[in-house]
Structures are given as structure tokens and as C-alpha cells.
Amino acid sequence: MNELRKTYHHDLEQAREELARLAALVAELIPRATAVLLDGDLEGAELIIRGDAEIDARCVDLEEACLRILALQAPVASELRQVVALMKMISEVERSGDLVRNICKAARRIYGHDLDPKLRGVITRMGEQAQQLYSAAIAAFVENDAAKAAALDDMDAYLDALQKQFIQAIFESQSGGHIDLQVAVQLAYVARFYERIGDHAVNIAERVRFIITGWVPDHKKPDRPRFDLDSATPEPVAGAPDPGAS
């Protein structure tokens, strides 16, 4: 292998390792942000909010490193696919960090307001599922595991179901007089933040599949089964054909 190719492979591996570190950092911040929200931890919220600037800066540096690889090494075929996918995953990680920051900002806005046990329970479950999704996406990337990457879409269906359950719990708590309207609005945003973190994890997994197999997701995805939290089985999407019908 000539010196130029050695440099390319070294630079590419360095970029992969940095992306894995950044994604792992975001995954570690998810439960911390959940604890900030549930405990009303203003100091913890401030640390996470301020720390997001470092994640942003490292993402910019990593993107520039990928651009240098493209400019200086002119990769082709599968190598080009990997660099392009890395650049798109950097954006997913950076946006995920922003969402974790936003959870902490919401925690500051509702500081001093008590949340009932049902709300606290669903928040806990959403945080746990979001972290599991992100950790699975990182593992799929590090291990080059296309099967693990493909499984994330179904994991995300559960997080989507939790979001719907959380919204219902917010309505019930607000109509029951346990929280006021402004707190309810902030919590609805929080539900969306967790759901979007899961979406970014799925996007990372899709890029992993692209790197390994060249698979490109269809922008018009078919409706997937919704996860029914009551029965713990997928329920059919409205309008979909009944598999048992003749």
C-alpha cells in the first residue's frame, strides 16, 4: 500500500472514531437530561446547555476533516460512500445534541412545577428508549452491522408510541388541574424532542446500511405497524389491507 493510501485509511479511521465518540457522548447526555428534567436540576441543565457548544465545534472540525479527505484523496466507490455517509451522520449527531440541550431548556422553563407520577413515569421510559436507540445506532456503526441497523426502525416505533402516550398523559394532567397550560406546552415540546432524537438515531442506522450495502432508503416509506403499548403487539395502520381478509 502506498503512502497516500495509508494516509487515507488512517484519516478515515480517525474520522470514524471521532464520530463514534461524539455519538456516544450524546447517548450519555440523554439520561442526564432526563434526570435534569425530573429533578429540577438547574445546575445540571446549565452544564449540558453550555456543553453543547463543544459538541457543535467538534462536529464542525470533523466535517472539515471529511472534506479534506474528499479533496485530497478523491475516494471512489465504497470509499466515497463511506465519507459521504459520515458527513451526513455528523449532522444527525449535532442535531441530536441540540435536542438534548432543548430538553434542559424546557426543564428550566418548568422549574418549580411538580409533575404527577404518570408523567414522570412516561418521561423516564421515553428517555430510556431514546438512549437505547442511540446506543444501538452507535453499535451498528462501530461493528458495521447492517442487521442491527435495520432493527432500529422497529425500536423507534415503540418510542413513537410512548410519545403519543405522553401527550395523552399531558392532556389528562392539565385538564385535571395538576399542571397549567404553559407547563403542558413545554412538556409537549419535550415529547417531540425525545421522538426526534429517536429519528436521528434511525437516520444514523440508515447511513450505516448505506455504507455496508449501498442501500438507499425510500423517501416515501410504506406505513409501518404502530406499536400498541396496551397489547404490546403491532396494530394495523388505518387503511392498510387486512392480512386475514380473503
Q: Could you tell me the residue ranges of all domains in the chain?
A: 3-235
List, for residues 78-94, the tens digit of each pLDDT value.
788 888 999 999 999 99
pLDDT of residue 80: 84
How many DSSP H helices and E strands does the chain contain? Answer: 7, 2
List, for residues 137-186, the tens digit of each pLDDT value.
999 999 999 999 999 999 999 999 999 999 999 999 999 999 999 999 99
CB 92: neighbour CB atoms within 10 A?
Answer: 24
List, for residues 20-41, the tens digit of each pLDDT value.
999 999 999 999 999 999 999 9
Residues 23 and 93 sit within 8 Å (Cβ to Cβ): yes
pLDDT of residue 8: 79
pLDDT-above-70 percentage for the chain: 86
The amino acid occupying position 69 is I
In the predicted model, is pLDDT for residue 69 greater than 60?
yes
The amino acid occupying position 195 is E
Average confidence (pLDDT) over 88-103: 97
Question: Distance between CA 8 and CA 70 in Å, rounded?
Answer: 10
The residue that leads in pLDDT, 240 or 212, is: 212
Residues 89 and 19 sit within 8 Å (Cβ to Cβ): yes
Cα 102 versus chain centre, distance: 13
Where is 129: in which H helix or E strand?
helix 117-143
CATH of domain 3-235: 1.20.58.220
